[in-house]
Amino acid sequence: MKSYRVAVVGATGAVGNEIIKTLAQRNFPVASLKLLASERSLGKSFSFQDKSVPVEVLREDSFKDVQIGLFSAGGSLSEKFAPIAVKAGCVVVDNTSAYRMDPDVPLVVPEVNPEAIARYPKKGIIANPNCSTIQMVVALKPIYDAVGIKRVVVSTYQAVSGTGMKAIEELSRQTRALMAGEDAVVNVYPHRIAFNCLPQIDVFTENGYTKEEMKMINETKKIFNDDAIAVTATTVRVPVFYGHSESVNIETIKKITAQEVKDLLAKAPGVRVVDDPASRVYPLAIDAAGQDETFVGRIREDESIAHGINMWVVADNLRKGAALNAVQIAEILAQKYL
């Protein structure tokens, strides 16, 4: 079996850390692993395949001899270093929003549009979608194929780990402070996140939506290669550490019953139906954390319209929402193209 020289850019971050774990858990054929971060991380190391791998500082010459680069160190670093890596002969799987809407860069969720990977040679970059988009389209795909989708209305309940290590620390520090009767210090988010819900993820755009909401709208159309799907989104940060939850309302083109949706999703790749209201069983963020699947429950007909379905979709935002999806892309790349 062939094996590959891999680099993880942003290795010390919430996503990078999960990428290292995912490569090991899935036995990705790694010939050599290079871990890259900022100067702040010099001296750190991670264990991989029973060896300790030191973190190196990301530099322009970091990509000599690297075949696959998994990037999650922020958009501006991807803008600068992805083209440098490609020039050195590396294929980049980018987790940031920098290239997602570039028409020459495939935006891929393996359960939905794996065929798009074939277009990677144009720029040498494959984009990983936003975490909230990924889990939604995994759950929409079987319905889209069966009866068509006219419109989606989604509201999200997003975990702080999506923002990175500093936000995980902020929620725990604020919670501990408030429980001890002290004041909560606000650094990462515009307002206190402990015991609160923030209807703002990322910055606002001119139309009054946030960037996170516009990512869900635009990325969904690109992944399905269908500009006719109407999507509207409200994205909300909640005081949860791991796992994004979503209320998804779907207007289908042809009629489909709730039972038919359950049957379709039960055999869909990457999906687990968790839906037994009589026993109070439905997907929960605390159960999805650390898992690979996208969990779907509360599947029911929207009785306010002729062709409507409601469902509740939960996944681990750092796994299927980021690291796992990126490693799955790398697996297809390795098996079919490298």
- Residue 124 or 321 with smaller CB distance to ligand 12T: 321
Coil vs helix vs strand at 7: strand
Q: Is residue 252 a contact partner of residue 230, using CB atoms and an 8 Å limit?
A: no
User: Which of the listed partners (ligand NAP, ligand 12T, none) does 143 bind, with a CB threshold of 5 to 8 Å by partner kind?
Assistant: none
CB of 129 to ligand NAP, least distance (A): 6
37: partner contacted, choices ligand 12T, ligand NAP, none (Cβ within 5-8 A by kind): ligand NAP
Close Cβ partners of 37 (under 8 Å, ≥ 6 residues apart): 9, 10, 11, 12, 13, 16, 44, 55, 56, 57, 58, 73
Between 252 and 328, CB nearer to ligand 12T: 328
Tell me how far apart the alpha carbons of residues 12 and 46 are, in angstroms, rounded to a whole number.
Answer: 9
> Least CB distance from residue 129 to ligand 12T, whole Å?
8
Q: Of these residues, 90, 191, 197, 244, which one is catalytic?
A: 244
| Smallest distance, ligand NAP to C-beta of residue 15, A | 4
The minimum distance between CB 240 and ligand 12T, in angstroms, equals 11
What tokens does 302 get?
A: 């929207």
Sheet of 4-9: strands edge to edge?
A: 45-48, 51-57, 30-37, 4-9, 68-71, 91-94, 125-127
Helix (H), strand (E) counts: the chain: 8, 13
Which residues bind to ligand NAP, rule: CB under 6 A?
Answer: 10-16, 37-38, 40-41, 58, 72-75, 77, 95-97, 128, 130-131, 162, 164-166, 321-322
Q: From ligand NAP, ligand 12T, none, which one binds at residue 215 (CB under 5 to 8 Å depending on kind)?
A: ligand 12T
Q: How many other CB atoms sit within 10 Å of the CB of residue 168?
A: 18
> Which option in ligand 12T, ligand NAP, none does residue 38 bind, with CB closer than 5 to 8 A by kind?
ligand NAP
Interatomic CA distance for residues 299 and 318, integer angstroms = 24
Residue of 131, 191, 197, 307 with catalytic role: 131
Q: Does the annotation count 197 as an active-site position?
A: no
Between 212 and 275, CB nearer to ligand 12T:
212
Going 189 to 191 to 197 to 200, the CA torsion angle's sign is: negative
Binding site for ligand 12T (CB under 6 A): 96-97, 130-131, 158, 162-163, 201-202, 212, 215
Please state, in angstroms and rounded to a whole number, the distance separating the CA atoms of residues 23 and 324.
Answer: 9
Region for 50 from its dihedrals, namely left if φ exceeds 0, alpha if ψ lies in -120 to 50, beta otherwise: left
Query: Least distance from C-beta 34 to ligand NAP, angstroms?
Result: 13
Give the residue with the Cβ less far from ligand 12T, 158 or 174. Answer: 158
Residue nearest to ligand NAP (CB): 13
Find, among 123, 127, 9, the residue nearest to 66 by Cα: 9
* Residue 200 contact partner, candidates ligand NAP, ligand 12T, none, CB within 5 to 8 A by sort of partner: none
CA distance 234 to 247: 10
Q: Which does 73 bind (CB under 5 to 8 A by kind): ligand NAP, ligand 12T, none?
A: ligand NAP
* Shorter beta-carbon distance to ligand NAP: residue 10 or 106: 10
Q: Give the residue numbers annotated as catalytic, written as ranges.
A: 131, 244
